[in-house]
């Protein structure tokens, strides 16, 4: 079976990709796999962060909302990692659980600690608008599997944008305390926005397949500042952080996240439940 046999955008998942690979779907070339790895890591690490909110959100309903968004992202991550790993004879679990810090390619924004609810919402706004712009473009990738994963993810990410926008508005225009906290959240996450739009070595040389990150800055700038202004908040004027996530450089908080994500499978290899 070739890529083109698949009905693109209909509920593509890690399982369907795995099955089609077994049935003869083309494995990605190394360069495409490395690009997919970065996209998978972005979604995986943010999913792990959102999972930390379970049982800790301000209300039960918000617990479920953040958990849902995290699970959507985990689904995207599994698809990207399954596809990427097939180039190297590795499964999604090999990539998620048996790599160390410097081998992860996620942007640093996604590993930033949750902070308070407003910090998480600020990070989610930036992340969701970025994913929305990225997947919108990736749906026309020359690689049909990447295009299919993006089409599935896009429908879910559109809702994630809405969720963040609603909360930025409510916290920004809510009480004095919520306003101050929302601004503090935006300020804390802002330095990590710039990295999302820097040239990505794993996207270079994949014209038509990968989306050049530089081209995503424009849709981001057309959306995010307006959302911030409508909420009575100000767009932070804070220098960008050093970045380097795509090269395996991460912030101090990342080691703790990985330890928690990987401890079970490393202590009990092969465990299932």
Partner 1 sequence: MSASAERQRPDGQQRAEQQAAEQHETWPLWEVFIRSSRGLSHVHAGSLHAPDAVMAVRNARDLYTRRGEGVSVWVVPSSAITASDVDARDAFFESAEGKEFRHATYYTASEGVPHL
CB 57 to partner 1: min, Å:
12
235-239's contacts with Cβ under 8 Å and 24+ in sequence apart are 235/186, 236/186, 236/187, 236/190, 238/187, 238/190, 238/191, 239/191
CB 144 to partner 1: min, Å:
26
55 near partner 1 (CB under 8 A): no
9 near partner 1 (CB under 8 A): no
170 near partner 1 (CB under 8 A): yes
CB 62 to partner 1: min, Å:
8
CB 229 to partner 1: min, Å:
19
Q: How many CB atoms lie within 10 A of CB 212?
A: 14
Task: Please identify which residue in 12, 65, 118, 150 interacts with partner 1, judged by CB under 8 A.
Answer: 65
Task: Please identify which residue in 162, 218, 230, 260 interacts with partner 1, judged by CB under 8 A.
Answer: 162
Binding marks (x or -) toward partner 1, 10..49, rule CB under 8 A? ----------------------------------------
Query: What CA–CA distance (Å, rounded) separates 6 from 255?
Result: 39
Q: Token digits for 5?
A: 């046999």
CB 26 to partner 1: min, Å:
32
Nearer to partner 1, 61 or 207 (CB): 61
Query: Count H helices, E strands: the chain?
Result: 9, 0
Q: What are phi and psi of 210, to 5 degrees?
A: -95, 155
Task: Please identify which residue in 4, 55, 59, 272 interacts with partner 1, judged by CB under 8 A.
Answer: 59
Q: Side-chain half-sphere of 238: how many Cα atoms within 13 Å?
A: 16
68 near partner 1 (CB under 8 A): yes
User: What distances in angstroms separate CA 79 from CA 7, 14, 172, 189, one per listed residue?
Assistant: 16, 4, 35, 27
166 near partner 1 (CB under 8 A): yes
163 near partner 1 (CB under 8 A): yes
For residue 46, give every residue at least 6 positions away whose Cβ sits within 8 Å of its Cβ, in sequence order, or none: 70, 73, 106, 110, 123, 127
Which positions lie near partner 1, rule CB under 8 A? 59-62, 64-65, 68, 159, 162-163, 166, 170, 174-175
């Amino acid at each position: 079976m070739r890529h083109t046999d698949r009905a693109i955008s209909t509920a593509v998942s890690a399982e369907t990709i795995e099955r089609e690979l077994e049935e003869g779907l083309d494995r990605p070339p190394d360069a495409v796999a490395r690009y997919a790895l970065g996209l998978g890591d972005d979604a995986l690490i943010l999913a792990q962060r959102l999972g930390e909110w379970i049982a800790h959100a301000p209300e039960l309903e918000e617990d479920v909302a953040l958990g849902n968004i995290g699970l959507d992202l985990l689904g995207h991550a599994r698809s990207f990692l399954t596809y990427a790993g097939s180039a190297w004879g590795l499964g999604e679990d090999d990539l998620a659980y048996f790599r160390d810090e410097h081998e992860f390619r996620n942007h640093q924004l996604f590993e930033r600690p949750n902070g308070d609810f407003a910090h998480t919402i600020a990070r989610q706004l930036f992340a969701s608008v970025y994913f929305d712009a990225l997947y919108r473009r990736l749906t026309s990738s020359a690689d049909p599997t990447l295009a299919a994963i993006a089409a599935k993810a896009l429908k879910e990410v559109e809702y994630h944008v809405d969720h963040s926008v609603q909360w930025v508005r409510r916290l920004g225009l809510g009480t004095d305390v919520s306003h101050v906290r929302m601004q503090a959240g935006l300020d804390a996450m802002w330095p990590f926005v710039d990295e999302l739009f820097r040239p990505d070595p794993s996207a270079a040389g994949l014209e038509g397949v990968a989306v050049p990150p530089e081209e995503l800055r424009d849709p981001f700038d057309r959306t995010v500042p307006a959302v911030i202004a409508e909420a009575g908040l100000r767009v932070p004027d804070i220098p960008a952080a050093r970045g380097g996530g795509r090269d395996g450089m991460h912030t101090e908080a990342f080691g703790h996240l990985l330890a928690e994500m990987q401890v079970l499978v490393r202590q009990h290899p092969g465990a299932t439940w």
